[in-house]
Chains A and B, each alone.
Chain A
Amino acid sequence: MGAVGERLRRKNDPRLLVGHGRYVDDITVPHVVHASFVRSPLAHAEILGIDTEDARRARGVVAVFAGDEVANAMPLLPTAAADESPPRRPLTGDRVRYVGEAVAMVLAETAAQAEHAAALVAVDYEPLPVVLGPWKALAGDAPLVHPERGTNKIGEIHKVIGDPDGAFAAADHVVKRRHAVQRISASPLEPRGTLAVPEPATGELTVWMACQSPHTIRTWLSDILSIDESKLRVIAPDVGGGFGSKLNLYSDELAVMWGALQLGRPVKWTETRTENFTAAVHARDQIHHVEMALRADGKILGLRSHFVGDLGAYFHFFTPVVPDLTIDTLTGNYDIPSVDIKLEKVFTNTMSIEALRGSGRAEATFVLERMIEESAREIGMDPLEMRLLNLVSPEQLPYETPFELTYDSGDYPAMLSRAAELIGYEAIKGSQRNLREKGIYRGVGVATYNLLCGFSPSGHDWNPMKFFPGHETALIRVDPHGKTVVYSGLSPHGQGSDTVVAQLVADELQIPFDDIAVKHGDTETIPYGGGTHGSRGAVVGGHAALIAAQRVVAKAKDVAGAMLEASSEDVVYEGGSFRVAGSREPALAWQEVAEEAHFLKHSGPMFEPGLEATAFYDPPSVNFAFGATAAHVEVDVETGVVSIIEFVSVDDCGVALNPGIVDGQLHGGIAQGVGQALYEQVSHDEDGQVVSASFGSYLLPSAVEMPKLTMERFVTPSATPLGVRGVGESGTLATPAAIVNAVVDALEPFGVRVEQTPLRPNVLWELIHPEPTE
């Protein structure tokens, strides 16, 4: 029996569960100094002066870096769309543009001393007018985040495909709505951390960093710090979640490395939770004005959206392309022939927007699925029925979307029907009237998704960065005992990709799962890879491991052929033993071949010694995973509290290499979707203060808030060798819309119009009980 397809436990769980994980903060080196940052308390201000004298004199302080001169001596950070990007430096010396921007770095012998001294740095600010809110940022008289640009507008994309004007002219109904997707924070359990260890004698620099893509970081650092990549080593040790927020190189992280090089001493920095809320990237934050053109029977003829993306104050790695992804996925699983989508992107005095699990696509799914719901209700059609009428049917596949994405296979209507069946759609609808008479308001909502994932090939224009590989790698090295190490370019930080890779390789090499170790996250040992993000683990990294394993087997056949005095083409490998085709004897075990490959005792120099192979895999195209969700909710109309009675997720990720891991990925994604619908929000006050900078205000769903989940899988193998599709981000896409649609259904008698999330109790109550107008 093979390992693939089995619900095997994740290799790392026992170690992590007993507290033996080693995160950046757990790593100690001699002579280390600790960093603490002075961060801007204002969203927009000119820096008139920085007094570091008291801090320099404080106990244990080794150095304080601050001021225009120091900042300008520091290297620029890499950004997406470098031509359009305002310069971003490790410290800012003249101006602050968001709350939390690093102004000074204090290095001291202990972390407590560094933090104490940082509180002694006095910064003289001249406050400037603050610009918040994307539409306000576009106004002619808006204060400018980057005055030298002359505008807060970053760019405009306008895609008109098909005949939208004709569609709207011919429509029997046009439904217009506003949909806002609020700003959220990734909130990883482990905040960010960096430990930079320079070796002045050789010019080498080793960096431990809570990151998702160590090779990318290494290449950028080489450019930035003018250190050969051969002298740079980036290690992602155990990393406690990233969700996209650790895909960047941040200003504070680079400051720590730069400081270590200045001092010639190791420097360590561990982000506090409070810092993480302001100094780690945010996500989402789009406002759409949408119009849907419908025929009388509910057929969608066209879709218009004019939307704006609030990108914050600077570009990080993917900042400007996140909303671009929203455009290209705005028709989802539906056959909508004509579209007119206009996107404006703006700078504001806030932290940057970046990739976060489902980035761009989650916004699109929410807006589309809310819009269909609203359209169906407005024209008096059942929302489920309208979806079934408009979904791309299996007969239409392969289907090219208006945005030239080609959906390969699947059965979207069947999945939606199944989700509706599992939640008990008809029964819930049928009991609503009686329950409402008793004051019980329950509703059902559905939503579908199509996850564009496994971003590739490398050169495609989704990739705005000069150094950011789309490929993935694996090096498989078999030792003389036949045990095997896979060095994977993936950099899993909670996903379990290491376990999945071991399963794949175990089956291909026909050896036990437990004989395989998977290493990752260290540029000194791992071949050049892209890391973990964008639901690419199995889709890209899995195939790299598969190909490398196939190469190892081919090499092993060469060795076996030499031992069996046969041509390697005549050697078959099955059931874990090598034999000459057609003959029964003699057979060689894997371990015998592995030993011979290294010591050549029996076969002489008929092959190159060793048993290992490397593969680099750049997929020819992106991948798609899809599904349907349904939510059954109850709303307490007296308090506005939403309880999710049950949540159904029907997902197709192709072949599930490890069903337990697939379930876990979906659970986590759904949890984040629940958070987007009901709990999470980065909020600013009118001065740009992040008022949600603690878990007392930024509400994360916990186990208590998780609904009862009913999961079912469809399996439509993709056209890839493994038949896999992505899954890491899937749960985030349709979950929020299904929940909000269910709430709207529950509150039908009140006719509430939901335009923004999260639907916290007070927000929903105000919609149910609007203030009486005079």
Chain B
Amino acid sequence: METYLYITAVIGVYVGFAVFIIGMGWRAYQWATTPKSPVKLGMFPKPKTRVGRFFKLMKDTFIAPQSASIEPRMWLFSFMFHFAALAAFVGHLRIIQEYPILPELLGEEGMNAFAGWAGGIAGVLMMVAVIYWIARRTFGPFKQLSVPEDYLLLALLFGVIIMGNHMRFFGHGVHAETYRAWFQSLLAFRPMLPSELVYSNVGWSLGTHMLFTDLLFIYFPFSKLVHTIGAFSANLVRSE
């Protein structure tokens, strides 16, 4: 178990993080250094001011009202996924540093219970959305349009989420504090795996959660997931 965790939750994290940062930086650099289209590709109506363009960009990127109007169900599941993923990301910050104020208000147990509920809901929402996306790609034009990349990414996401949920729902007694000890040791470049984590009932699920996470991060810059940064400039072009 320790070797497995050492590979996925120590080495893998470093490798995944490095590939992700360098890869995304390289991708952004490539975009930034390729000359812009000589033709203005905007469409109407377009905002006349910079501020207007900025707000439209934010609205189009974070809410995508046009997409909502044409396929509400797909929009709903996609919005749900992205929102829950953001919530999960924010929740994960707790393993770097405990939040201020909130734990004092709720107390340690209260905080853990809150994190349990919030993380649990986010995890379930993400899982439901990914299942919907997988199901949608199994028939008709959606299946015809799909390429292996699409299924690979969904499989990786599914792996990350289901293992995360396993830790969340079955990791009784293992709370943020334990994970924080592990993660802070990575940040300090003195990796250490707390034995109460390694030998708990969620040791293997952490290992597998991290296996999928590492792979997702390594593949991220080479996949369509670069839309996480590309969507902003592509949507801005709409108003130009």
Whether both chains belong to one complex is answered with no
